[in-house]
Amino acid sequence: MLNIDILSRFIENNKLIEKEDRVILGVSGGADSVCLLHTLCKLQKALEIRLFVVHINHGIRGKEASRDENYVKELCNKLDVEFFSVHYNIPKMASMLKISEEEAGRKARYEAFENIATDISKTEGVDISKVKIAIAHNKNDNAETMLHNLSRGSGISGLKGILAKNGRIIRPLLIFTRAEIEEYLNENKIEYMTDSTNLENEYTRNVLRNEVFPILTKYVNSNVINNFYKTSTVAAEADEYFEDSAKKFCEKNLKAEGNRGYTLKRNELIEHPHILGTYIIRYALKELLKEKKLGIKDIGMVHIEDVWQLAHGENGKKLDLKYDIKVYNDYKYLRFVQGGDEKERKSGFPEIRYGVFSNFSMKDIPGDGNIKWLDFDKVLRDIVKYTGESLCINSVVSKDNNLKFIEKNIAVRGYMSGDFIQIKSGKKAVKKLFTDEKIPVSIRKEHIVLTIGSCVVWIFKENKSPDDTVGLDRISELYKVDLYTNKVLKIEVLGDKYERES
């Protein structure tokens, strides 16, 4: 039974509204939203709040939509509540965004609520946190949402249904059924409008409302709506517990890789029970999508399960998900990348400077870093052999020409299939070297190679990762400086990126 006392206690117990809040009500003119407006009007003096009404005209139902808008406007005048009307062309919006009209309508409503909330915050001179958005969802809406989510395979997070409070969005009528709301309106002789599209089964929610739940109520359990609500409160508690546990885990084990995405420690992940593991993966995906201002609504349990199986599978494997998300099993890590880490390099390749000198000491040979020493004569000889051009490699006079010749014929590019490098045991494909050195697949494309044809002179990774996965830094055994070296070819990588990270 809906009465003001029960509503007031629900608002207080769930801390939905605080003193001096400005509350925006979404009022369509239907039973639920009209009930919300009337009941909060009765409570506004006791709660010490101000009410505002927003009506959304979706541009779908023609004269019927205009009728509803006029009704809500007149009702607000009668109740002395400030009224805002916002018009959208939902069919056009759905077509442009390539989403359903149902989803476009939801997007439009919340966009309008947020815009008006911002304006009210400014005109009223209050912090945005003091502006609440009240939606007239009830127990039936909650049950329909739960069943829809369950059908889509959303796991526990979907079974929690609709929350009474989600940030600044509140749902004061969530404790009541649709029948209780209509009973309250009839007893108090309060008129409301009926949206004819609610009677059609064109939308998923309408099918559940008009077909599925009447069958469940008649043939399974007459109290099915209330039972769904009880289940949702238990699921919400469980979901909050696992969400909190996943957050604590990720604070230690999930690391951002600049604009590349995130890395998650794989071994630590798979040590946890399956249920917590799925929440950890979901949290990682949410963080990745949040960077692009996307929600996780279309990432279901089936996708999260796929990532869980990837984590337990073979190293080097990759998984493609929605929103252009790629997840890599990279030995110690799962790497989450959105937007295509395999796209072409945007910043080009680093600048390389070459030099040559004869006076050197073997103890001064540089190790890791942006400078390498190679045997000048051997490099030049192999370039001549590769290009087929003749050059006097021992002439002091032609030193500058020799350096220009080297710069012209040593390619600076990204790693390619077919590249090979000379190691102590012989010639080895770079791809095989990556595998043997356990270099993650997701960062192999970041390597720079200096090559004579397919023969790698030096391979290195331009940027170090935040997780200290630095990749390969290897020069060919063919060109290493030794006791028989006469002249040294100095190769230096220039540019802010490499120097900052080295």
CATH superfamily, region 4-221: HUPs (3.40.50.620)
CATH number of 257-338: 3.30.465.60
> Is position 311 annotated in a ligand binding site?
no
> Is position 31 annotated in a ligand binding site?
yes
pLDDT exceeds cutoff 50 at 493 = yes
Cα–Cα distance, 229 to 226 (Å, whole number): 5
Residue 273's pLDDT band (cuts 50, 70, 90): very high
Dihedral (CA of 407, 411, 414, 419) sign: negative
**Alpha helical stretches, state H, 292-367:** 301-311
Residue 496's pLDDT band (cuts 50, 70, 90): very low
Cα–Cα distance, 263 to 269 (Å, whole number): 11
What is the 8-class DSSP label of residue 351? -
Beta-strand relationship, 488-493 and 169-170: unpaired
Distances (CA, A) of 471 to 153, 281, 414: 39, 25, 14
Residue 2, pLDDT score: 92
> Is position 8 annotated in a ligand binding site?
no
Residue 258, pLDDT score: 66
> Is position 33 annotated in a ligand binding site?
yes
Dihedral (CA of 112, 284, 431, 445) sign: positive
Claim: this prediction has a pTM higher than 0.85: no
Structure-token pair, residue 253? 């084990």
Residues of the chain with CATH 3.30.465.60: 257-338
> Is position 30 annotated in a ligand binding site?
yes
Residue 345, pLDDT score: 44
Structure-token pair, residue 16? 């939905």
Please write the tens of the pLDDT for every residue from 163-195. 999 999 999 999 999 999 999 999 999 999 987
Please write the tens of the pLDDT for every residue from 317-349. 889 888 888 898 887 889 898 865 444 444 467
> Is position 80 annotated in a ligand binding site?
no
3-state helix vs strand vs coil in the chain, percent to 5: 50, 20, 35
More confident of the two residues 470 and 213: 213
Share of the chain above pLDDT 90, in %: 55
Average pLDDT, whole number, for the chain? 87
Residue 398, pLDDT score: 57
Angle at 354 between CA 351 and CA 355, to 5 degrees: 150
* Mean pLDDT for the stretch of residues 470-482: 89
* Mean pLDDT for the stretch of residues 40-65: 92
Cα–Cα distance, 413 to 462 (Å, whole number): 11
Residue 416, pLDDT score: 81
Looking at residue 229, its amino acid is Y
Residues of the chain with CATH 3.40.50.620: 4-221
DSSP string of 89-103, one letter each residue: -HHHHHHHHTS-HHH
- Reduce the secondary structure of 175-196 to three states and give it as a string: CCCHHHHHHHHHHCCCCCCCCH
Please write the tens of the pLDDT for every residue from 371-383. 999 999 999 888 8
Helix (H) or strand (E) holding 452: strand 447-452
